[in-house]
Chains A and B, each alone.
Chain A
Amino acid sequence: MAETSINPHVGDGNNAAPSPLDWLIRRPMLLAWTVALGAATFFWLFGQPWAKWAFKYPSAWKWKISKEISAGMEWLMNEATFGLFTFRELTRAISWVIEKPYEIVLSLLSTGFLEGQGSQAIQIIPPLSWIAVLTVVVLLGRYVKDWKLGALLGGCFLYLVVFGQWESAMVTLSSIMIAVPLGIIAALFVGLLGYRSVWVERAITPVLDLMQTVPVFAYLVPVLIMFGFNAVSAMIATMIYAMPPMVRVTMLALRQVPSEIVDLGTMVGCTRRQMTWKVLIPSAVPTLMIGVNQVIMLSLNMVIIASMIGAGGLGADVLASLRSLNFGGGIEAGFAIVFLAIALDRLSQAMAEKAPASHGDGQNEGILKKYPYTVFCTAVALITGIVGTSWGVSWASWIGGPSWGMYSAAVQDYPEAWTITTGAFWSDIIKHINVNYFDYIDAFKGMLLTNFLVPFKRFLVSLPWIAVVLLLGLAGYTLGRWRLACLCMVLSLFIAVVGLWEKAMITIYLCGISVLVASMIGMPIGIAAAQRDRLWRVVQTIIDTLQTLPSFVYLMPVVMLFRVGEFSAIIAVVAYAVAPAVRYTAHGIRQVDPQLIEAGIVSGCTPFQLLTKVKLKLAFPEIMLGLNQTIMLSLSMLVITALVGTRDLGQETLIALTRARTGDGIVAGLCVAFIAIIADRLIRAGAERMRTRLGLQ
């Protein structure tokens, strides 16, 4: 055993075996790694007594940056001024801009237009009736694509009505309807600036990286302090969360506009504004719509988290049930979010694919023929609106008696008596499982924890931080020379210096285990699906749907079965992060040049050899990127699992949120972001090298 580990490669070549030392010297990187790992192991085993500081970062050396951030925040709110107006006035102005349109949409969908204040308010115009909203979404589906989409949308919204989620759903929908367009417009402008100026792009790219990796909880606190506990804060946080991909997509989409089209714009003498709005953006619309879809999905993902800082609606319902362990109620509200997400996702995708109406001779034919959908929707809204008012109700009762009156009222508000609830059903199932199988589940969980999870966690926490920082530096140097080495060391050192090393290690442990499990599940599925077209179609549908679900939804069933704790967290993270592992593996394999596969077959490969020697080798860079995505999703989900009781950086941000400590939240959030960035850069650099070596560039 010892011999082989010293010199595993003797006999590689045919010529006389070189001495192992020669062999190593000719491979400087390998030599460096051997030395470094050996030294690190030695230090880890025997260094503790004489270098305690290297194992536990001394609190005396800690950089108290979080206090400074909190103080800065306070100064910003109380003293900062721009000469003409103070910072606080600025935040109020922003609030106002967002609040006004929100109030209008909310009135239309939920509260009705009111006169007067508070409880004395009188409703002048009722909100749109549920029948009217249903009509609108069904016809919208028909208009954008076909009756099938209309039926799907109608079905999703019908769920909201029948299961008594309407009120909350309309509140959520209102905030989405404001946050999404505002987010899109803002992102479009930022993206446009980035497109026009390389400098702006260089400045915003790292900001976007941070925005996408810093956990949401971290910036909820400053948003909360600046804008207060209300729906506006929630919408702003949603916009911050949902914007970055749209900014990237905008820059990409504008760059992808063929240069000939830009030349055309110049040749016909476009001014800059004409070029932007008449040439560039219309030509980029198909790609831009992908970004729009992303903004919508991310906004829905935020629904529950945003309710922590004042968004009402479905998110607040879910959060409340999760806190009171009322699983049945939580599941119904959770499903409501899911159905809303599916409806909006399919609708926006269909919009993205919708080509302008084909050549009809759009001659004027009167308003009804020209806008049949609009006319019909308005009519339904008006009629149901009138029938549902108290005036309509009394009129109906007068004509057909009290039952008519009841129906008439039901047109406006779906009667509570008609709603269905399955809450008890879900609670019973969980109860049944827990009564009958709790012992097995618990034993299984306990076995995994004591034998695998806890030892791994202890190992990571016991590592000397200085050695980890240096090894990361070496990894960076191996894959991307000094730049990457410096980046890795500086970022990891930051984590140690702010005193969050141990929590960070727990995050890495949870993330690592989850990624490992997710890859072990996802990659074989991906490999299997890649080689069978029908299976791939099924798998694709499933992972598409999984990725539509808001991350919170994964938490509920897990907590019900496994209670709170790290184990539940890991399972939820795995469920959330498995999709990219499947997707990228399958993609990578399916992308392999068919000629190379034919070459393999002609060379006499067995199917297994074909897979291992051709397909997997060539798909490797793509699979690495899948791994990268899995890590990113795991980290973002991990933070949310803090709600079910992990003791990592995620929990740190959550505590900061509940205690409204800006600095703590931001610092812990940055640590999570840095872990993500280190992993991302290392893996990307590795994949890049691999691609170059394989000539896939």
Chain B
Amino acid sequence: MIEVEHLSKSFNKFKAVDDVSFKVEKGELFALLGPNGAGKSTTIKMLTTLLKPSSGKLTLNGHDVMRNPDAVRSSFGIVFQDPSLDSDLTAYENMELHAVLYNVAKGQVKPRVKELMKLVGLWERKDSLVKTYSGGMKRRLEIARGLLHHPKVLFLDEPTLGLDTQTRNLLWQYVDNLARQNDMTVLFTTHYLEEAENNADRIAIIDQGKLLRIGTPKELLKDTQTTNLEQAYLKLTGHEIRDEEVDPHESWRAIRRARSMR
């Protein structure tokens, strides 16, 4: 369903992604793990047509990502790492706009929006402007929005950041169900390793732009001779703290997000 072949991306001299190759099968829940600045988000941006690779080949749902971006865009849904809501619109209006952008049939819009907003517990607040929402509520709304059009491939870039355990569990349950029922492929990143351990069929660990290891959670433990994923992860990526290279927009959003989380 997703094929990444010798993917590289450089920003000036900095190599954000360095010769990464992997495949994700249809219906698979696939986790991309790595420290900050490892190249996870950059990889997702390239897969979702937001960024052009420096070299390499990407295929999604049988379509070449660079040659046929429109076909690719109609195949996936995404929950971004940073906020991407219009805060001057109400929650319902944000959902409705998304439904129209993704060509959800007219009669389907309201029932689906209702179902998903109820799932994330926001239906009572549907007519509030998003700027009155707390950070956690915005996050829940974004997740509901990403699921709205039942995509073939779903990208979740740190979807559960800043959410409480209850909401995280609920979310994973829903994603899991949706994936099994519709044979949906899910590629996600997270810093909560137990989420990957519990939900992912396979895990890829990347660091400094390079793919270090790929396999089922069990295989990773066996390979590294560890007893849980956190140990395996630390064994592969080391203990030091990373600096993240960010562009001005990213850092600006990071500040906003830190504020809204408070």
Query: Do A and B actually bind?
Result: no
